Amino acid sequence: MQIAEIVRDILSKNTIDSIFFVACGGSKAACWPALFFLETEAKGLKSMLLTSNEFVYATPAACTEHSIVVACSLRGTPETVEALRTGAKRGAQTVAFTGDPAFLGDAEYALARAGNYMVPYRNSDALPCTEGNAVKLFEFAVELLHQVEGYEGYADMREGLRALDGVIRESVRRAAARADEFAKKYAEKDTIYVIGSGPAYGAAYAFSICSLMEISWIHSPTVHSGEYFHGPFETTSPALPVLLLKSEGPTRPLDERVERFLQEHAGSHSILDARELAMDRLPEAVRGYFSGLVLGGVLSSYLNRLGEVRRHDRSVRRYMWQVEY
Amino acid sequence: MEAKKIVEAIRLAAGAGGIRQIFLVGCGGSMAGLYPAWYLLSREAKSLRAEYHTSNEFVYATPAACGAQSVVICCSLIDTPETVEACRTAVERGAYTIALAGSEHSKMMELTPYSIRYRNFDARKRDTSATQTKHALALRVAFELLHQLEGYAAYDDAIRAYEMLDSIVLDGLRYSDRRAPLFAEKTAEESIIYVMGSGANNGAMYASSICNLLECMWTDSVAVNTGEYFHGPFETTDQNLAVMLMIGAGRTRALDERAHKFLRRYCDNLTVIDSKNFGIDRMPPAVREYFDPLVFMPVMDIYNTALAKLRGHCEQDRRYMHKIPY
């Protein structure tokens, strides 16, 4: 079933007042553009994003037969499968976003089997971004809001989603020199701060915990641009490695304020600005909501380049899938 | 004003079913102070929608839902400009706005008739009540909202828990007075310290990381939710990494214990802070976890003070905050 049909089918069964996104790590970060959109635009619909095991162990009372539980995991992370089952026990409609089962072994169908509905995805630089989890989750959120309460930016969103893959490809091309500069500048660093806001906060979190901590073994505090001046900026000095993500959209002034401070007090920082990418091809009224998706696409190329420069293959892990945990 | 009376007044003004959303808004430590209230509402509310935002995000990307059916709680010690602005935004949207302020002279109190004055609890002096902090009072408002707007079965338990809070905080601090110097010795030379926790304690964990370590100690710090730890962050762990692990007494304790099991094996510089040691289990089980962060926050302060003392670093020193324009 296409995403729009899934939403229609769910709404034909029951009225929906809430949506819970449950996922872990990078999959949790992939839910962020959808969550930010719903938190900002939804008039009645309630939305929440929780790491899977918090949902399992401290399940919100609001999760009922009037809820949708959306779980996202590439290979059926055990606690995410359990979160989906928890939602189902509460009578919620469950939707599993998972790595395309056609490419997976049977044991990893678990997430798909636990859900009423399944949306297969594949994350790969070689495939259109619309095949990936973050874009499909976002599309689901847009459909849901439009079908539940009507969303005036719907036509613009559809247009934006059609243009998105071209936008990301062009953006990656435009940012190639920046990715190279970032990788060379930060190859030897032990700690890199990542700062962002609004629609791009998830991209900042994903770059911190997946690209830097998990794949590159580099410490990385994630800082919200609005929070930077209320504590975190005290560690800033000319030597501190910082990557600032500047979004399009309403929270851009928060990022610009951080930029002004960094220009004066840092020096070893790097800026990735959505406005210098190819986002002008997206409809202006909804452009900001795509910031995390576009910046996330570009950051994937940052990670690739960082791996090449550091001679650190992105598949090497110390613990993940290597030891029991 | 008292939380109970404020919520009564709002309920009367808004009418039955008149409130649908609660927005909790603040910056840095003040935002973290609202986390226990958000956590309670996020887990226990049946129909109320609760959201938690840093002030400027609320100002620049105000949720479309914020209006005459909303309660907005704005928290700031000394009139943080963007929180005052968030308070103004909320009032302009027609929301019932509650100012949680550190001073009777707060500008927020001129914007809205609903206000509560809070007092920071000094974990060193211990001369005020832990029931008067922003954490405790915001949580108190949240209990009232739940109880008065939807009905909350454990309301009486919550009131009893407040009566026990000071005694448990003091026990927790006495216990930690002897543990904190051990932590300080282990981390005196460390340039980065991870802080981990989950559930109701996410806010206290965040405050320990951004206020205590980044702001006061100028020490790099990563805050990691124990549910997220195994999905990326654990790859930077090695025997040398300094980690503070907060093990809570609530429903997400299993997540903290899983991280503990892993850290015991792969990390040598681990400091475990377990709220079971503070006697939190004396509190009624239905509400215990919501009070966990109220005990953790002063306890984490004691650990920080011990580190500052050993390093000879003044916790009040700032490079930028309140010193230069930003």
Using CB atoms, pick whichever of A25, A231, A318 lies closest to residue B228.
Answer: A25
Question: What percent of chain B has a predicted confidence (pLDDT) above 90?
Answer: 99
- Given an 8 Å threshold on Cβ–Cβ distance, is B252 in contact with A60? no
Q: With CB atoms and an 8 Å threshold, state whether B232 touches A213.
A: yes
| Cβ within 8 Å, pair A215-B29 | no
Neighboring chain A residues of B258 at a CB cutoff of 8 Å: 325
Q: Are A205 and A247 in contact, with CB atoms under 8 Å apart?
A: no
Tokens matching residue A264: 């004066």
| pLDDT at res. A104 | 59
Q: Do domains A3-151 and A158-310 have the same CATH topology?
A: yes
Q: Which residues pair with A223 in a beta bridge?
A: A195
Q: Residue A310: which residues within 8 A CB-CB, separation 6 or more?
A: A183, A187, A216
Q: Residue B223: closest CA among chain A residues belongs to which residue?
A: A221
pLDDT digits (tens, 9 = 90+) for A76-112: 899 999 999 999 999 999 999 998 676 655 555 777 7
Residue B187, both tokens: 């981390």
The single residue listed with the structure tokens 């874009």 is A135
- Alpha-carbon gap, residue B25 to B21, rounded angstroms: 13
Question: What is the Cα–Cα distance from A97 to B316, expressed in whole angstroms?
Answer: 48
**Rounded to whole angstroms, how far apart are CA atoms B72 and B88?**
11
DSSP letter for A282, please. S
Residue position matching structure tokens 């930016």: A153
Residue B17 Ramachandran class (φ > 0 left, ψ -120 to 50 alpha, else beta): left
CA-based torsion, A75, A77, A81, A84: positive or negative: negative
What distance in Å separates residue B308's CA from the closest CA in chain A?
Answer: 15
How far apart (Å, rounded) are the C-alpha atoms in residues B225 and B199? 8
Place of tokens 């008149």: B18
ipTM computed for the complex: 0.97
Contact A221 B214 (CB under 8 A): yes
Could you read off the pLDDT of B156-200 as tens digits, one per residue?
Answer: 999 999 999 999 999 999 999 999 999 999 999 999 999 999 999
Chain B CB contacts of A249 under 8 Å are 61
Q: Which residue of B has its CA nearest to A201?
A: B57
**CATH, range B155-308:** 3.40.50.10490
Taking an 8 Å cut-off on Cβ atoms, the answer to whether B228 and A24 are in contact is: yes
SS3 B120: coil
Of the candidates B32, B10, B280, the residue with the CA atom closest to the CA atom of residue B147:
B10
Separation between Cα atoms, residue B42 and residue A249, nearest integer Å: 27
Q: Which of B44, B192, B214 sits opposite A234 (nearest CB)?
A: B214
Strands A46-51 and A18-23: parallel
Reported as type and span, the H/E element at residue B294 is: helix B288-311
Report the side by side order of strands in the sheet with A269-273: A222-224, A193-196, A242-246, A269-273
- Chain B CB contacts of A230 under 8 Å are 27-31, 80, 210, 215
Helix B288-311 vs helix B155-187: crossing angle, to nearest 10: 20
Predicted local confidence at residue A233, as pLDDT: 98
Alpha-carbon distance of B123 to B4, in angstroms, equals 27
**Where do the domains of chain A lie?**
3-151, 158-310
Mark yes or no for CB contact A57/B221 under 8 Å.
no
Write the DSSP assignment of A246-261 as a string of letters. Answer: EPSSTTHHHHHHHHHH
User: CATH says B3-149 is which class?
Assistant: alpha beta
Would the pLDDT of B210 be above 90? yes
- The answer to whether B211 touches B318, Cβ cutoff 8 Å, is no
H or E segment and range at residue A213: none
Q: Indicate the average pLDDT of chain B.
A: 97
pLDDT at A251 over 60: yes
How many angstroms separate the CA of residue B311 from the nearest CA in chain A?
A: 16
* Nearest neighbour of A42 by CB, restricted to B31, B64, B222: B64
Instruction: Please report, to the nearest 10 degrees, the dihedral formed by the alpha carbons of residues B3, B8, B14, B20 taken in order.
Output: 50
- Other C-beta atoms within 10 Å of A75: how many? 15
Question: In whole angstroms, what is the distance from residue B152 CA to residue A174 CA?
Answer: 55
Half-sphere exposure at residue B306, Cβ-oriented, CA atoms within 13 angstroms: 19
Q: Which architecture characterizes domain A158-310 according to CATH?
A: 3-Layer(aba) Sandwich (3.40)
Give the contacts of A213 (CB within 8 A, at least 6 positions apart).
A219, A220, B222, B232, B233, B235, B236
pLDDT tens track for B25-47: 999 999 999 999 999 999 999 99
Region B269-285 average pLDDT: 96
Give me the percent of chain A exceeding a pLDDT of 70.
98
The helix/strand/coil state of B214 is helix
Q: How far is B303 from chain A (nearest CA, A)?
A: 18
Select the residue of A48, A64, A219 nearest B222 (Cβ to Cβ).
A219
Structure tokens at B203: 């806010």
* pLDDT digit string, tens, across residues A150-208: 999 999 999 999 999 999 999 999 999 999 999 999 999 999 999 999 999 999 999 99
Q: Where in chain B is the domain with CATH 3.40.50.10490?
A: 3-149, 155-308
Counting every residue written for chain B, the total comes to 326
Q: Report which secondary-structure segment, H or E, holds A37.
A: helix A32-41
Average pLDDT of the segment spanning B71-86: 98
- State the pLDDT at residue A75: 87
Q: Inter-chain contact B45–A62, Cβ cutoff 8 Å?
A: yes
A3-151 domain in CATH 3.30.530.20?
Answer: no
Res B228 pLDDT > 60: yes
- Mean model confidence pLDDT for chain A: 95
Nearest to B275 by CA among B186, B190, B168, B184: B168
Residue carrying structure tokens 């302020």: B101
Residue to test with chain A: of B40, B84, B93, B231, most A Cβ within 10 A: B231
How does pLDDT run across A62-73, given as a tens digit for each residue?
Answer: 999 999 999 999
**What is the average per-residue pLDDT within A45-63?**
98
Question: Rounded to an integer, what distance in angstroms lies between the CA atom of residue A164 and that of residue A158?
Answer: 10
The tens digit of pLDDT for each residue in A1-13 reads 899 999 999 999 9
Nearest CA in chain A to B199: A54
Average pLDDT over residues B224-245: 98
Question: Looking at CA atoms only, how far is residue B61 from chain A in angstroms?
Answer: 6
What pLDDT score does A99 carry? 86
DSSP state of A302: H
Instruction: Give the distance from residue A5's alpha carbon to the nearest chain B alpha carbon, in angstroms.
Output: 26
Mutation to test the B interface, candidates A146, A193, A235, most B Cβ within 10 Å: A235
Please give the average per-residue pLDDT across A266-284, as a whole number: 96
A90 vs A103: CA distance, rounded Å: 31
Q: For residue A260, is pLDDT > 60?
A: yes
Residue A106: its pLDDT value, please? 55
Q: Give the torsion sign (CA, B146, B151, B152, B156).
A: positive
Q: How far is B167 from chain A (nearest CA, A)?
A: 27
Lowest mean pLDDT segment, chosen from A54-63, B9-18, B63-72, B236-245:
B9-18
When pLDDT is averaged across residues B261-289 and rounded to a whole number, the result is: 97
Interval B65-72 mean pLDDT: 98
Chain segment A135-166, per-residue pLDDT in tens: 999 999 999 999 999 999 999 999 999 999 99
Percentage, residues of chain A above pLDDT 90: 91
Whether residue B46 and residue A61 make contact (CB cut-off 8 A), yes or no, is: yes
Distance from C-alpha of A174 to C-alpha of A168, rounded to nearest angstrom: 10
What tokens does B17 get?
A: 């079913």
Work out the average pLDDT over B261-271. 98
- Residue B326 with chain A: CB contacts under 8 Å: 229, 233, 257, 261
CB B87 within 8 A of CB B108: yes
Nearest in space to B100 (alpha carbons), one of B8, B30, B22, B7: B30
Amino acid at B97: T
The pLDDT tens digits of the residues spanning B94-115 come to: 999 999 999 999 999 999 999 9
Q: Would you say B117 and B104 are in contact if contact means Cβ atoms under 8 Å apart?
A: yes
